[in-house]
Amino acid sequence: MKKDVKMLVEEMQFMYGYDQTMREYISYKTFDKSETDSIESLSESLREREILKRQFESDNFKNYIWINYINPKDAEHTERMIEIIRKYGFPTIDRIKRYYKNDFVDSEFNPLIILIHSPRKYWAELKEIVYKEHTSGRINQCEYGYLLWQFTGRESFQPMLENGYEMVRENGNITLKSTCK
């Protein structure tokens, strides 16, 4: 990983950026990050109103974006991440930072997020891969639980509760909280 880290980080940052930007476009109908950031900083009610004003007039076009831009790239990015993991092990932020001394282009960048949108057809393979990465110590228990939750269709929080998360009551709300460092 050390000799290839610059190229890998740039590639994964691109995949992450594409993933997030396309999904933001579906909500905000703009690629202008300053505009999306300003909308995201609004109160929940104002944000909801702004998003409603920006809805596509045609659901067909929104579906077109999903079918032609988002879903194919999710599959392509998943296949590439599987290749990267098989060759180098799971690229957690901590592992990357051992070799990559520059700041990330996007401070929220995390390769784990690229896998979150993996198509269902990859889930069985990904469950095997992340189990191996977890047992080898390359991903922590909470990362493992979060990925399992994703790869089981987010139907139950059980994979997270069995792997480093707990239900916590805060301010009258029940939330999942990581117990991992």
DSSP string, 26-38: HHHS---HHHHHH
- pLDDT exceeds 70 at position 18: yes
Element (H, E) at 86: helix 71-88
**Same-domain pairing of 50 and 14:** yes
Which of 95, 70, 93 minimizes the C-alpha distance to 15?
70
**Same domain, yes or no, for 109 and 150?**
no
Domain enclosing residue 176, as ranges: 140-181
Rounded CA separation 156/10 (Å): 34
Residue pair 68/119 in contact (Cβ under 8 Å)? The answer is: no
173 shares its domain with 84: no
| C-alpha span between 8 and 96 (Å, rounded) | 9
State how far the Cα of 47 lies from the Cα of 167, in Å rounded to an integer.
28
Number of domains the chain contains = 2
Tens-digit pLDDT profile for residues 77-118: 999 999 999 999 999 888 888 888 888 777 788 999 999 999
What is the rounded CA–CA span in Å between residue 51 and residue 25? 11
- The last residue of one of the domains, among 139, 155, 171, is 139
For residue 1, is pLDDT > 70?
no
pLDDT tens by residue, 116-139 = 999 999 999 999 999 999 999 999
Each residue of 56-66: pLDDT tens digit?
Answer: 888 799 899 99
**Do 113 and 166 belong to one domain?**
no
123 with 149, same domain: the answer is no
Q: Are residues 113 and 175 in the same domain?
A: no
Lookup: tokens for 99:
């070799």
Please give the model's pTM, rounded to 2 decimal places.
0.87
